[in-house]
Amino acid sequence: MALRQALRDVFADRYATATMIGAVVLYSVFYPAAYRHEVTMDLPVAVVDQDHGPMSRGFVRRLDAVRTVRIAGVEPSVAAARRGLERGRYEGIVVIPHGFERDVARGTTARLAVLANGAYLGRGSSVVAAVHEVAGATAADAAADGRRFGHRREAPPVALIQRPLFNTREGYGSGMVPGVAEIIVHQTLVVGTGVILGGRRQRNGGRRLRYRFAEWTGMLAGFACIGLPALLYYAGFTFWVQDYPRGGNPAALAVVAPLYVAAILTFGLFLGSFFSRREHAFQFVIGTSIVLFSLSNLTWPLTSTPPALAALAKLLPTTPGVNALVKVNQMGASVSETLPQIVNLSVLVALYACLAAWRFRPGSSARGRAGSSAIDPNPKASNKEFPCPASHPSVSSIP
C-alpha cells in the first residue's frame, strides 16, 4: 500500500515527476554533450623556419600530422607570428633557429623555441606538449640515422610509452561525466523525496509526519523503483550512447548500485522529514551539488583534503557511492577492491534508516492520527482543511 501510494504521489506531482524522471533524462542528453569534444584538436600554430633545411621541413610535416595542432601559417619572422598570435589567429608559435639541422647532425644540443598563448592555459600546454612529442621523435630518428652511418650516438636509456588504461580518450568528459552522473542521480532522488514529504507535511498543517515502519519502508521501496533504474540508465545506456568508459564489472555494479540508491533514499527520507513545504527541497538541496562533487575526491586528491573534512565527507552517500561506482563501472574493479566503499554505504544505510525511523516514529500521543498523516488520499480536501496563509502562496501558484 505505501509503495503504491509513493509511486502515485510521484506521478501525480508534476514537480516530483519532472525532478525524479524528467531531469534524469534531460541531463543524460545535454550534460555529456558539452564534453563531446573532450580533447583539444587542430589548434592553429605558426611556424618560423629560420633554418630552411630538410630536417626542419620534416619537423614541420610531423608537427602538422599531430592531432592536437595544425600548421595555420608559416611566418617570415617572430614579430609577424607574434602579431598573428595577438590577433587570435594562432594559439602558439614554433621557432626553428638557424643551425638546427647542423646541431642535430653533430650530436650537440639543438634548440627550439615555443611561444604559447597564455590566455588559455589548457591550449597553451597542449601546444607545448605536441612540440615536445614531435621533437622527441625527431631526435630518436636522428640518433638512429647516426648509428647507421657509423656515428657514435648513445641510445636513450629508457623509452617512455604512454597507454591510458581507463580514460582512453584522455579527455575531460570521460574523467568527469561518470562521477557527475552519480551526483545527478543523488540530487534528483533527494529533491524528489523532499518534494513528496514536504507536500505531505504541508497538507498536514506543517506537523511532523508520523509513519509506522512498514509505511516508510514501503515509501523507500517505491522511490527505489524509480531511483535504481535511473542509476542503471546512466551506468549503461547513457554511457554507451555518449561513448564513455563503461561496463567494467557488471556483477560488482549489481552490488554497489542498490546500496548507493538505498543510502540516498534513507538519507533523503531523513532530510525530507524536516521540510515543511515542498519548495524547501529545491532551496536547500540544489545548491549543494558542487560541494558534494568536491567532497567525493574524484577531482581533488584525498591526501590533500583535511582529515576532519575527509571524515565528515564519509557521512554523505555521494562520497563512497561515486568512488565505488566509478571503480566498478569505469575501471572494472572487483567487489573486494571496493570493499571500503561498500562498508561505508552499508553503514550509511543503517544510520539514516535509524534516523528516518526516529523522525517518523508514531508517538504515544498521536497513534490515533498516525494513519491520517501517513497517507493523504485526498490532497484537495486536506488543502481546504489546512489553508496556506496569505504570506505563503500555495504550491499551485508556483510558476
Residue 173 counted as domain residue = no
Contact (Cβ atoms closer than 8 angstroms) between residue 128 and residue 116: yes
Residues 88 and 30 grouped into a single domain: no
Residues 189 and 251 grouped into a single domain: yes
CA dihedral 315, 321, 324, 328 (to 10 degrees): 170
* Overall number of domains in the chain: 2
Residues 132 and 280 grouped into a single domain: no
Residue 126 counted as domain residue = yes
Residues 60 and 7 grouped into a single domain: no
Instruction: Read off the C-alpha cell for 157.
Output: 636509456
3-state secondary structure of 53: coil
Give 192-233 pLDDT, tens digit per residue: 999 999 999 999 888 989 999 999 999 999 999 999 999 999
Strand order in the sheet with 92-96: 69-74, 43-49, 92-96, 113-116
Q: What is the pLDDT of residue 244?
A: 80
Give 117-126 pLDDT, tens digit per residue: 877 767 877 8
Whole-number mean pLDDT of the chain? 82
Residue 327 counted as domain residue = yes
pLDDT(46) > 50: yes
Distance from C-alpha of 80 to C-alpha of 97, rounded to nearest angstrom: 16
Q: What is the pLDDT of residue 100?
A: 87
Residue 94 counted as domain residue = yes
3-state secondary structure of 95: strand
Residues 257 and 285 grouped into a single domain: yes
Residue 155 counted as domain residue = no
Contact (Cβ atoms closer than 8 angstroms) between residue 321 and residue 186: yes
In the numeric block, the cell 509513519 is attached to 211
Residue 168 counted as domain residue = no
Last residue of a domain, one of 128, 148, 168: 148
Give the H/E segment covering residue 310: helix 307-313
The closest alpha carbon to 32, from 229, 250, 179, 191, belongs to 179
- pLDDT category at 241 given cuts 50, 70, 90 is confident
Residues 292 and 393 grouped into a single domain: yes
pLDDT(382) > 50: no
Last residue of a domain, one of 104, 131, 148: 148
pLDDT(6) > 80: yes
Give 82-114 pLDDT, tens digit per residue: 999 988 899 999 999 998 888 887 777 788 888
Contact (Cβ atoms closer than 8 angstroms) between residue 325 and residue 256: yes
Q: Which domain holds residue 271?
A: 2-35+180-397
Residues 315 and 391 grouped into a single domain: yes
Strands (E), the chain: 43-49, 69-74, 92-96, 113-116
Residues 338 and 232 grouped into a single domain: yes
